[in-house]
Each structure stands twice: as C-alpha cells, then as structure tokens.
Amino acid sequence: MPTVEDVPTAPGCLPGIGHLHHLVGDRLGFLESLRREGPLVRVRLGTAPVYVVTDPALVHQVQSSKARSFGRGRQFQRLAALLGNGLITSDGELYHRQRRTVQKAFTVAHIERYVTAIHRQAEQVCAGWEEGRPVDVLHEMKALSVAVMAGTVFSGRMTDRVLDQVVRVLPVIEKAAVERPMMPEVVDRLPLPFVRRGDEAMARMRAVVGEALEACRDREPVDGAAGDVVACLLAARDPDTGRPLDHDLVCDEIIALLVGGAANVPTMLAWTWFRLALRPGAEERVLAEIAALDGAPTMADLDGGMPYTRAVMFEAMRLHSVQLVTQRTVAAVELGGVMLPSGTDTAYSMHSLHTDPRLFPHPKVFSPERWLPDSGWEPVRHAFVPFGGGRFKCVGDNFACAAILATMVAVGARWRLGIPPGLRVGVSVREPIPGPKGLRLVPHPVRSAARGTRSPH
C-alpha cells in the first residue's frame, strides 16, 4: 500500500518556507489548484507537511466514517494558545461534554425565540440608514452579529459598555485566529506587532467576558428567557466530580461562541447583499418573498416558506466558504489508498470543494436557481459542507441559517441595496471566510403593495 512518501507535493515548494508564499500571495487560487494534483496532495507550511484532501468522498471519510482516527489539527491546536479551550479548539472527551452542554441552548424552541430577537435587532440597525447614503455593509452586519450573539449567549444581560468593547477587539482576534496558525509556533513568542496586537485583544476579550459572566450570576435573563448559553454553562456539572465548570473554561466557551458566531454570519450576509445587487432579477424574487410576510418570520417561513431566499443563502455559502480546516490523525488510517501514520496533519478546503467545476457547473457564477427543487440538479454527495461535518460539525448551523434569513427579512422589508458608481470590492483572506473589502452599498427604500399578505397558518 502506498505511504505518505508517495503523495505528490504541490508545485512551487521553496526551501525553508514551503508553500507559505502561495498562501500569502494567492491563497484561494492556490487552494483551488490543489485538486489538479490528485485526491491527496502534500503542502508544506514552512518545513511541516500537511496532506490536503481534495476529493469530497475522502473529506466525508475524515469527517464521519473514519472520524475516530482523526482529532483536531494543527490549526486548532495553535488556536488554543490564543482562544483557550472552548468548543472551537477542544478535542476528545472535553469537546464532547462541551458540545452536549452548548447544544441545549440551540434547540428548535430556543432558535425560534432567537429569530424574533434577531429580526428586531436587525430592524433597529437598518432603521438608522439614510436613503442614498452608502453604508459599510460588513461593518454593519458585524455589529449586528455581535449584538445577536450577546443576546443569544447572555439573553440581554451583557451591558452596552461591555458589548462595545467586544465589538472593538473582535476584528483583531479574527485576523489573529486566521494568520497565526499558518505561522511557525515560534512566532507566538516573538515581540512582533501583529502578535502583540492579537494577544492584547484576546486579554481584553477575556477580561470583559469574565466581567459579563460575573454580572450574569446575579442578573435574571431579559423577558424571563431561560436556557441561554450562559445558563447552560453555569448549570453544567463535571461528570466525575459533580462540581460546576471552572470559571476559565466557561469564559473559553463563551469566547469561542462569540468569535465563531460573530465572524462568519456577517461575512455571509455582506456577500449576499453584494451578489443580489449585481443580479436585480434575483433581488426582486427575494424581496417578493419577504413582502409576502407580515413582520418577523416564523420557523415555518424559514424552513420552507421562502424557497428562493433560502436558495440565495445556499449559493452565497457555496461561493464564500471557510478557507481551510485541519485535522490530525490519532491512529494509523487508510485514506484514498494511502496509509497515514498517527500524527499526520491533514486538511481540506471548503472553498475549493464548493468551487470545483467537477462538482458544481459554472462554479464561479452566482446562480441561486441551481438549489431550487425543479432545477434538475443535485449536488454531489458530501460536496457541499458549509458547516463541516461529523462530530466537529458547527453546533450552531441551524442557528446561523436562521440568523441569516431573519436578518435578510428585516433589511429587505425596508431597503434594497444598490451599487454606487465606481465601487471596487476586494477580498480579504484574513478572516475564516474571506470577506469583502470596501463594500459600501446604497440603501433605497422598498415600496411594495404586497406586504401584509401572509396566509393564515
């Protein structure tokens, strides 16, 4: 059986730095190019080899059918030094205990309650926009998502002062969380400006989360809402000792949720508005579905009452995906006919899978219609994994979809967003999902006689 020594190395490897220059210069293009080299490709981060999986069937094996042979990879182990041992970075039994605890706050009943709050907060945000005055869409969506996560995690018990501090430090932490894992470990100990900024931002985040957590011990949830994430974490008990969870571990978990929840949803929303602005016909169909509602959407609306809007969301998720996810073998395992020894670093790129022309016809074209039931097309099995899969699948996947759709309803009921003359939008790879740079769109009022035509349930 072939071994890791038989796996082809991606072109352009340089002594000492490996493929880091490609990851810095054209990261997305480089990740897309790997699928031409085969289902398993060696990439070097400095001198350390990482075996990138490009075939969706093999990605599924890593995530699910052979998941017991894989643990968290280099990326997450490096992140633990920055973010602590929350759900994003933990592994083994600790991860499973944390996941079971946090899942209690993301049941369908909880999400339905969150949807109403998200819709209300989104209405408040976009109510401050002015007709014809460009808005920084990503900035607005990030501020909204932090408020939403704070409301979800703390049920309104996080003060505005603490919330403002979280908003300020979060972008610095997001950039550090993407860039640091790709650097040699020694970088963490060097007095470099970007290292110092990340460490200082994380220290501030830990301080304000600790302050908010202490306040929650003495303050009831707003509107009597019970079962938020903080309540679940404070009520959890160590299965071995019966004691409450350690304060630092609870802080780690809250930070993981804030960073994870407030990073990707706003990026997805910003790209969605941009894509719709480029396709007026698609925008009209979304606005028509929104106009048929009467106020905040219900879970029934989000699950099946807005088919085209859901298709737009899926297509935005496909085109704008997480760059790279790493895992490490914890036992020898066969993958794609190659025997990987224990301790082998592997990775897969959601972005590369979702833009593979072998899996998605015309992959760079924004085409929500492909997701509609009557399109005659179905995605290749395991090819569309926007939230990952298996035991490490995002615990808040259903919440994220509900948050995106509820926000689209709130904004689309009031505004359509147009492209100003001369707009040039870049792409930043310094976030988990590459985000838009310079995206400023112009609000124009929506005037529709169709509003208020919701059919009785």
The predicted-structure confidence for 43-94, as pLDDT tens digits, reads as follows 998 888 999 999 999 999 999 999 999 998 877 878 887 888 888 888 888 8
Question: For residues 428 and 435, is the Cβ–Cβ distance under 8 A?
Answer: yes
pLDDT at 451 over 50: no
Write out pLDDT tens, residues 137-178.
999 998 888 888 877 777 766 777 877 888 888 888 888 888
Mean pLDDT across the chain, nearest whole number? 88
Beta-ladder partners of 440 = 136
For tokens 């926007």, the residue is 386
pTM of the model: 0.89
The pLDDT assigned to 219 comes to 60
For the stretch 2-56, pLDDT in tens is 999 999 999 999 999 999 999 988 999 999 999 999 999 999 988 889 999 999 9
Q: Half-sphere exposure of residue 429, counting CA atoms within 13 Å on the CB side?
A: 16
Confidence of residue 456 (pLDDT cuts 50, 70, 90): very low
pLDDT above 90 as % of the chain: 51
The pair of structure tokens assigned to 259 is 């960073």
Residues for the chain: how many in total?
457
Q: Which of 205, 219, 197 lies closest to 163, judged by CA?
A: 205
CB 232 within 8 A of CB 102: yes
